Structure 1
Amino acid sequence: MAHGSQNGVSRMNCHPEYYLKDGNITFHVEGTLFRVHRHFFERESQFFIQEFAKTPQGGTSDTSAFRLDEVTAADFTKFLWVWYSPLYRRGSLTEPKEHWLTILELSTKWQFLDMQKLAIDELEKLNIEPIEKITTYDKHKIDKLLLLPAYKLLCKRTTRITDEEGEKLKVPTLLRIFEARDRARSAAEGRHLSSADADKELERILIEVFALNSHATNQQGAQSQTKSDPDPNSKPNPNGNGAANGHKPSGSGSSTQNDKQQQKDADKTKGTVCYSVY
């Protein structure tokens, strides 16, 4: 939960990369101050819009920094990376699975829908073990259609699901995996199915067992409803489509000269010690 600071004096470090001279919102995370751009948080997150409304002056200075609990400074750094990383703007994404899992966790928790979609898109490119993928996607209520390949791999496994793995999966998921596997084996008995045909049959059974067709219909209906009934109070966004664009905030620019200036500003803050009230 984000909230305003409390009385008291603490000696804290400014983050070496994300304590920006032109930032206009300060966060306090694990004894570290982050000064970034409020625009991103208000543009993309209903959670932060509501939190900012509770304390209008919160975060306007180091002494009134918004304190973020239940998140580490390292994880918050990964979260901010989405907006500020030059590598991201060039489209050269080579971050490991753990990096995107952190971004997925925080974007879901704080309701950054565009950033959540970005994290899912990047996780889909990685080779994630089926049980980990199923438990992660279920935890964050991600579209089950994306889990079809993981379900198939579990059904095709020649080894049994261990007790430890079974504890990670929910009972309904386990029962459906067992049902789909048994039905696929029964369907193959007495039939000479090619590998491709057997794979298609298993996929058909999984779609039926997990009701993925109805899930897809519900997803499409929700999207259609959103498009046909826009929020009458919403305003056009002149700054693009959110986190997935990876833009810098307005005023920071993207020219080489401005990039160099920002780097100089960041260098000046490295190792800076800040005194803040919290």
Structure 2
Amino acid sequence: MGHPPLSPTMSFSSVSSLPTENIEHIASESLSLSNAASDSLTLAASCEFEDDPKFYFRQSNVKLIAEKRVYNVPRAPLERHSTFFRDLFAMPPDARLPPGWIQQELDVSGQTITVYLHGANDTVQLVRPNVNGPHHDAYLLHDVTAHEFGLFLTVLYPDDYTTHDLTTYEEWMPVLALSTRWHFAAIRKLALARLDSLLRNAPIERLSISRAHGILLWRVDALRALVYRPEPLSSEEIVRLHCDDIASIMKQRERVASVRNVDLAHGGWVRDRLNDIGSLKKAVDTISKAYCRVMWARRAHGRGVLPGLPQVRVDQIAACLRQDESMDWPRRSFYRLIFRGPLPHALTCLERLLYSAQANRNMIKIKARVALHEELEKYSSQQIKLAALVKELLALRQTLEPTSRLHRVQSLNQLRPHVARLCELVSEDAQLSKTLQFDRDIAYRGIVL
């Protein structure tokens, strides 16, 4: 039979009046509870906790100003995905002067005085210019409107992870522009994917975006669509296009029109010959065999694949020819001509670009070891960019090498995007773009166009 619990108001005299066996039972229960509490405290004190290396966020929110609007957002996503914001947050909020202002040190009577100049309105003042107002701890973002920044934050901190709350071309364009300017690689890819589906039948917009943001594959598709469409360019469209693109479209349209005129003049003779796929494939196969015989004849005479060529190009041509013998080609294969001709030049660009990226990455590592503390952030950012480039180039090598699965499938539509991306990377490298221009142009014209 259990005993009733002690009342908080029970006095010592009332306890002493209890039977002896009741007092002993209450004392034993109190002692056991005390021991259990002591054991729990000891167990909690002995546990060792560690912070999760990825999802334990130590940064607090950060304030940002676009135009006259103040934002207070989590700091971690901005720093994790953007080198621009990592560099920005490494400085105090007032470290940068507003646009148009410069700081000048003057020596006046042996004393150094700091003055601030604005060239546009001829303003000179001793007080540091401040446009943050009472928000002295906020970072001011230049050259971006509050509307544009709001759209960008909608993607970075979405309510709906499926649509990211944006559905139109006008909403996604500022996101693409800001992600490119601030080096948000993942958000840039997302914006391009959404715009690709929204602008599938809008070649003028695709061509303008490709020119502004360096999207080579979009430019090729848009130019092809504008060349072969029945309607000529309107005056409104010409105003929106770059002069080089206009010249290219006009030139190609004239070439297509001349072929059509010749075809009409000869009663469809040209069309019949172009539609004769058997004759075309036979010609391709004949040229391919002749090219192969010349290559092997030169090798047999000990003169290498092609005299005077860079060794890396020689190696790639030889690798493609060796693999060509073991491939199961159809009797007439246009892809086989690509495999023997433009593809070695694309692989030459890939190997030279990969070698340069790896060498630059190793050089940056050496510089980072002996760099001053204030330079470490710069070298760290360069290492991250070069590591990403090397990773992408290694993936391209695995996809494009002569023994890859892509060539066994023999699909030119699958090959084109990879070669277009490779040509885009070559064009972005200022040091190698001139050196590899010959190989890049052959690969681009022979495979992508």
TM-score range relative to shorter protein: 0.5 to 0.7
2:271 corresponds to which letter in structure 1? R
Separation in 2, partners of 1:221, 1:119: 30
Give yes or no for the alignment of 1:191 onto 2:268.
no
Q: Which position in structure 2 is the counterpart of 1:101?
A: 173
Separation in 1, partners of 2:135, 2:347: 48
Q: Specify which of 148, 169, 189 is matched with residue 75 of structure 1.
A: 148
Give yes or no for the alignment of 1:51 onto 2:88.
yes
Separation in 2, partners of 1:134, 1:214: 29
Q: Which position in structure 2 is the counterpart of 1:29?
A: 66
Q: 1:154 to 1:76 in 2, by over 3 A?
A: same
Give yes or no for the alignment of 1:140 onto 2:213.
yes
Q: Which position in structure 2 is the counterpart of 1:124?
A: 196
1:76 deviates by 0.9
Separation in 2, partners of 1:76, 1:50: 19
Q: Specify which of 163, 166, 175 is matched with residue 247 of structure 2.
A: 175
Q: Which position in structure 2 is the counterpart of 1:10?
A: none
Q: 1:220 to 1:80 in 2, by over 3 A?
A: farther
> How much identity, in percent, do the aligned residues show?
29
1:57 deviates by 7.6
User: What's the RMSD between the two structures over aligned residues?
Assistant: 3.9
Q: 1:92 to 1:54 in 2, by over 3 A?
A: closer
Instruction: Return 5+ residue gaps in structure 1 as ranges.
Output: 1-21, 197-212, 242-278
1:183 corresponds to which letter in structure 2? R
Separation in 2, partners of 1:170, 1:91: 32
1:175 deviates by 1.4
Separation in 2, partners of 1:222, 1:55: 41
Contact map agreement 1:23 1:35 (CA 8 A) in 2 = no
1:179 deviates by 2.1
Q: Specify which of 151, 157, 165 is matched with residue 223 of structure 2.
A: 151
Q: Specify which of 232, 236, 247 is matched with residue 164 of structure 1.
A: 236
Separation in 2, partners of 1:72, 1:33: 12
Contact map agreement 1:25 1:35 (CA 8 A) in 2 = yes
Q: Which position in structure 1 is the counterpart of 2:160?
A: 87
Query: Given the two structures, how large is their TM-score scaled by the length of structure 2?
Result: 0.38
Q: Which position in structure 1 is the counterpart of 2:391?
A: none
Query: Given the two structures, how large is their TM-score scaled by the length of structure 1?
Result: 0.58
Give the secondary structure class of the aligned counterpart of 2:90: helix
Separation in 2, partners of 1:106, 1:153: 28
Give yes or no for the alignment of 1:65 onto 2:102.
no
Q: Which stretch shows the higher mean deviation, 125-134 or 98-107?
A: 125-134
1:221 deviates by 6.3
Separation in 1, partners of 2:78, 2:346: 30
1:183 deviates by 2.6
1:54 corresponds to which letter in structure 2? M
Give the secondary structure class of the aligned counterpart of 2:271: coil
Q: Which position in structure 1 is the counterpart of 2:79?
A: 42
Q: 1:104 to 1:149 in 2, by over 3 A?
A: same
Contact map agreement 1:145 1:216 (CA 8 A) in 2 = no
Instruction: Return 5+ residue gaps in structure 2 as ranges.
Output: 1-58, 96-131, 264-269, 278-342, 366-378, 389-449
Separation in 1, partners of 2:251, 2:345: 19
Separation in 2, partners of 1:36, 1:219: 43
1:28 corresponds to which letter in structure 2? I
Question: Structure 1 or 2: larger helix share?
Answer: 2
